[in-house]
Chain A
Amino acid sequence: MSRHGDFAASLRLEANKQLPMGQPLQAAMAPPHVTIALDQGSGSSACPVVARGDRVYAGSTLGRSEREDCAAVHSPVAGVVVEIDTRAVPAGTGLCITVENDGSNRPDPALAPIPDYSALSPRDLLERFRNAGIAGLGGAAFPTATKLGSARQQTTAHLILNGAECEPWICCDDALMREKAADILYGARAMMHVAGANRCTVAIEDDKPEALQAIQAALKSAPEGFELATLPSLYPSGAERQLITALTGQEVPSSGLPTDLGIVCQNVGTAAAIARFLQTGEPLVRRVVTVTGSGIAQPANLEAYIGSPITSLIERCGGYRGRPRRLIEGGSMMGRALESDTVPITKATNCIFAATDADLVARDQAAACIRCGDCAQACPAGLLPQELHRAARVDDGPKLDSLGIEDCILCGCCDYVCPSRIPLTEQFRAARLAVRRHRADQLRAAEAKQRFERHESRLQAQAEAERRAFEEARRRARANPN
């Protein structure tokens, strides 16, 4: 086991992970209705391949996409498609397919396990991962096949399994590693086969001794090339780029990807999902979710079907305790506050955090920035948030760009330490959108200008040709008056 130092800047935060860990991981339970969002959180929507009234099995494909950034979606239950409509999802609203569960739980007959993945070519296996809707379960829900595919194209030797789980309150990966260590390593081997990697590092923060132990035990029977790395419990050590730097000392180029360093990062939950798919043929229709917070009667880690309404998860944890003030998808640093608990969970939902006032820190009214620079000390991307803030206030796009707004990972560290309580992360998120929109506008304007100029010069050339022809005709007419 190797220990690794910390990266540029980080915060030591209160973990708040002990509540759900008292309970064992609970097995999945199917609710009477599931609502599958066609955009599972990657920002790109699949196209429905079923119609209202269709009968589907557990594991039947509901939607798929040709796009690189979109994974297929499947029905976790057998039943009837009752509605395809736009609904509230954690990320806002989006097109969803609602399936009424008939309780039979009959699996799709087309599904079959893959007993020996190494008999399949990496290309074939990638296609199967794509069709099985395997996506990053760390919170981004980016299609795993795309990530592994680009890793395969560049020579990628090193797979990093991310079990750091640095964000407060979230402990679904911890629970998974304790109970499914062998599955995780099996999935990792399949990913190494696909990416062509020969090395695998499992990275876990040192506040998870039981998970470390479980992985260590499972590693005894692992082939060569596997190692376990312990990280100090610092936020955001689980952020992909920061994790890579902590483990290898190398930095991922700003506009590049980890594959530029010959590295591909995958969440431990994704590895477990791949193992389940290979062993049972089941596509990605369930994940582990932490349900926690002082507003939950019995906090626990649950296996839950994608598309289950959040209320069904809360019920399985004994309902609310008191009246939680905020319902958060994710942890306290990057989690999204939800308006309602009726929205369905997605592949990106790692945690449901029902926070009471005791879990939150009330924010005072934001005061003026005093340029103390605490934010720059805390920024893991090495940015100057105080300067970004200044540029964002006056919408100075070029300045935002040169200060590295695109390098911001929205981790919230600057916000956390700001003595003036300025909502920096939210400001940077908006500023980045504005900068991107502005850049797209400029590009479009430049293209339009080019088109216009080409058109003008065509017209001019045409007029010139006509004039010349006319002159020519006149000259000829003058020369031969007859």
Chain B
Amino acid sequence: MRFDTSPAPHVVSGRSVGSVMRQVLLALLPVAVAHLAVFGPGLLLQLAIACPAALASEALALRLRGQVPGPALRDGSVLVTAALFALCLPPALPWWLTAFGAAFGVLVGKHLYGGLGNNPFNPAMVGYAMLLVSFPVEMTHWPLPLMTDGQQWSALAALTTQTVVGGMGDILPAWDGYTGATSLDALRTGLRQRFTMSEVFSQPAFGVLGGTGLEWLNAAALLGGVFLLATRTIRWHIPCSMLLSVAGLAMLSHAFDPGGYAGVTFHLFSGATMLGAFFIATDPVSAATSDRGRLVYGAGIGALTWAIRAWGGYPDGVAFAVLLMNLTAPLIDRYTVPRIYGHPTD
């Protein structure tokens, strides 16, 4: 009798790229819910624009590269990129910017370098950073965080929809009651204007742990991150070293100069710290690859995030910190190759 042949092993585990990506999307659910509660329904609009834009860009790029788009579209990696990108955007960003950013991330950030597995930079962050440097006004236009007020929520919904569809130009005055500086922004402006730390922290942008509202987003991202760790979807090295490095630098600087630098919990629960630690920095394609390398990589992102927040020109530093450390990943990989079995310890 004749039989099929195939190289060993003849069995594989149940984990696939698709299942990993589905876990990540699942873990993003709490973040999305918190986002909707805090910033109104804008996220849904952003997702509705970013996902199709990213999928279409992926399909186009694969077609142009002479590949069959089907399997790559189904594995969910593009949706993760689009979802992370949308979560980083201000909820009322006009649709063309969202679409442009998503397409830019996928086409330039990913496919110009050879597609999934070959991109040196995190595509979502490429799209985000491009928008942030090119459209700083639109990209820093955040609604005031609100938590419970149903009436405000629907008013914000209407305003957001109007802005996303038609742009910001004519209705900017209507936004007056709804926008405000984010906590990281308020902190840097306040300190620059020589307010004391306690005066700065008495502003409404500051909550119990970090920024008002943003502390909920960070808590939700932490929850999702714990889920990812528990399901072994990601490994602990990058998030832990990144958070420890942010916390360590915040603690040291705050201890030396309490009036000039915010404390540990503020840094951990403001901006995109948790989302960055568990969802963005952990993108394996653009990260360092060995355990030791990932510790270095995560620590680098944490340090840069803190440094950009403390001294840099942008309120939050996660996106740039990730992109800068993406640049160093090959170098880290080169110097952190683990010892092979039976080789001497050096």
* CB-CB contacts below 8 Å: B185-205 with A: none
Asked whether, in the complex, the Cβ of B12 is within 8 Å of the Cβ of A418, the reply is yes
Asked whether, in the complex, the Cβ of B340 is within 8 Å of the Cβ of A381, the reply is yes
Chain B residues, CB < 8 A from A333? 8-11
Known: A253-B342, A384-B289, A407-B341. A326 touches B8 (CB 8 A): no
6 A-B contact pairs sorted by A residue (CB < 8 Å) = A334-B9, A368-B116, A371-B284, A374-B15, A382-B339, A419-B16
* CB-CB contacts below 8 Å: B97-148 with A: 115-118
**Shortest beta-carbon distance, A415 to chain B, in Å?**
5
Chain A residues, CB < 8 A from B5? 326, 337-339
Is A328's beta carbon under 8 Å from chain B? yes
Q: 1/0 contact trace for A6-24 toward B, CB 8 Å?
A: 0010000100000000000
**Shortest beta-carbon distance, B328 to chain A, in Å?**
15
Chain A residues, CB < 8 A from B77? 370
Is A341's beta carbon under 8 Å from chain B? yes
Is B174's beta carbon under 8 Å from chain A? no
* CB-CB contacts below 8 Å: A318-358 with B: 320, 324-328, 330, 332-341, 355
Q: 1/0 contact trace for A295-333 toward B, CB 8 Å?
A: 000000000000000000000000010001111101011
A253 to B2, CA, bound (A): 42
Chain A residues, CB < 8 A from B17? 367, 370, 419-420
**Shortest beta-carbon distance, A410 to chain B, in Å?**
8
Known: A325-B4, A374-B15, A419-B19. A425 touches B9 (CB 8 A): yes
Is B177's beta carbon under 8 Å from chain A? no
Which of A337, A369, A386 is in CB contact (< 8 Å) with B3? Answer: A337
**Shortest beta-carbon distance, A369 to chain B, in Å?**
5
In the complex, given contacts A337-B5, A419-B20, what are 4 additional A-B residue pairs having Cβ atoms less than 8 angstroms apart?
Answer: A241-B342, A254-B341, A325-B3, A370-B117
Chain B residues, CB < 8 A from A320? 1
* CB-CB contacts below 8 Å: B1-60 with A: 1-13, 15-17, 19-20
Known: A368-B117, A372-B20, A382-B339. A328 touches B10 (CB 8 A): yes
A interface residue numbers (CB < 8 A to B) = 8, 13, 168, 241, 245, 251-254, 256, 320, 324-328, 330, 332-341, 355, 359-361, 363-365, 367-374, 376-377, 380-384, 386-387, 403-404, 407, 412, 415-421, 423, 425-426, 429
Per DSSP, chain B at the interface is: loop
Q: 1/0 contact trace for B215-259 toward A, CB 8 Å?
A: 000000000000000000001000000000000000000000000
Chain B interface category by residue count: 35 or more
Q: Which residue of chain B has its CB nearest to the CB of A386?
A: B289
Asked whether, in the complex, the Cβ of B9 is within 8 Å of the Cβ of A337, the reply is no
Known: A370-B117, A381-B341, A404-B340. A337 touches B10 (CB 8 A): yes
**Shortest beta-carbon distance, A126 to chain B, in Å?**
27
Is B66's beta carbon under 8 Å from chain A? no
**Shortest beta-carbon distance, A118 to chain B, in Å?**
35
Which of B6, B12, B118 is in CB contact (< 8 Å) with A326? Answer: B6
B interface residue numbers (CB < 8 A to A) = 1-13, 15-17, 19-20, 71-72, 75, 77, 115-118, 235, 284-285, 287, 289-291, 294, 333, 337-343
Known: A340-B2, A368-B115, A373-B284. A251 touches B16 (CB 8 A): no
A264 to B75, CA, bound (A): 48
Chain B residues, CB < 8 A from A429? 7
Chain A residues, CB < 8 A from B287? 371
**Shortest beta-carbon distance, A94 to chain B, in Å?**
17
Which of A8, A338, A355, A365 is in CB contact (< 8 Å) with B10? Answer: A355
Asked whether, in the complex, the Cβ of B3 is within 8 Å of the Cβ of A327, the reply is yes
A333 to B13, CA, bound (A): 12
**Shortest beta-carbon distance, A293 to chain B, in Å?**
10
Chain B residues, CB < 8 A from A373? 235, 284, 289-291, 294
Which of A253, A384, A426 is in CB contact (< 8 Å) with B290? Answer: A384
**Shortest beta-carbon distance, B98 to chain A, in Å?**
25
**Shortest beta-carbon distance, A112 to chain B, in Å?**
42
Chain A residues, CB < 8 A from B4? 325-326, 337
**Shortest beta-carbon distance, B142 to chain A, in Å?**
32
Which of A332, A364, A404 is in CB contact (< 8 Å) with B16? Answer: A364
Q: Which residue of chain B has its CB nearest to the CB of A335?
A: B8
Chain A residues, CB < 8 A from B117? 368-371, 420
Chain B residues, CB < 8 A from A383? 340-341
Chain A residues, CB < 8 A from B6? 326, 337, 363
Which of B7, B11, B284, B341 is in CB contact (< 8 Å) with A382? Answer: B341
Which of B2, B7, B341 is in CB contact (< 8 Å) with A426? Answer: B7
Chain B residues, CB < 8 A from A337? 3-8, 10
Chain A residues, CB < 8 A from B10? 326, 328, 332-333, 335, 337, 355, 359-361
Known: A251-B341, A387-B333. A423 touches B7 (CB 8 A): yes
Chain B residues, CB < 8 A from A381? 340-342
Asked whether, in the complex, the Cβ of B342 is within 8 Å of the Cβ of A256, the reply is yes
Q: Which residue of chain A has its CB nearest to the CB of B237?
A: A373
Which of A252, A324, A340, A415 is in CB contact (< 8 Å) with B9? Answer: A415
Asked whether, in the complex, the Cβ of B340 is within 8 Å of the Cβ of A407, the reply is yes
Interface centre among B5, B11, B77, B290 (most CB of A within 10 A): B11
Chain A residues, CB < 8 A from B116? 367-368, 370
Chain B residues, CB < 8 A from A370? 17, 20, 77, 116-117, 284-285
Which of B7, B11, B19, B285 is in CB contact (< 8 Å) with A332? Answer: B11
A377 to B338, CA, bound (A): 11
Q: Which residue of chain A has its CB nearest to the CB of B333?
A: A387
**Shortest beta-carbon distance, A351 to chain B, in Å?**
12
Asked whether, in the complex, the Cβ of B16 is within 8 Å of the Cβ of A340, the reply is no
**Shortest beta-carbon distance, A308 to chain B, in Å?**
16
Asked whether, in the complex, the Cβ of B343 is within 8 Å of the Cβ of A387, the reply is no
Chain A residues, CB < 8 A from B340? 254, 381-383, 404, 407
**Shortest beta-carbon distance, B1 to chain A, in Å?**
5
Chain B residues, CB < 8 A from A325? 3-4
Chain A residues, CB < 8 A from B8? 328, 330, 332-337, 412, 415, 425-426
A228 to B342, CA, bound (A): 25
Interface centre among B12, B77, B115, B343 (most CB of A within 10 A): B12
A129 to B291, CA, bound (A): 47
Asked whether, in the complex, the Cβ of B341 is within 8 Å of the Cβ of A360, the reply is no
Q: Which residue of chain A has its CB nearest to the CB of B339?
A: A382
Known: A368-B117, A370-B116. A421 touches B337 (CB 8 A): no
**Shortest beta-carbon distance, B340 to chain A, in Å?**
4
Chain A residues, CB < 8 A from B7? 337, 423, 425-426, 429
**Shortest beta-carbon distance, A9 to chain B, in Å?**
9
**Shortest beta-carbon distance, A359 to chain B, in Å?**
8
**Shortest beta-carbon distance, B278 to chain A, in Å?**
15
**Shortest beta-carbon distance, B117 to chain A, in Å?**
3
Chain A residues, CB < 8 A from B290? 373, 376, 384
Interface centre among B1, B285, B343 (most CB of A within 10 A): B1
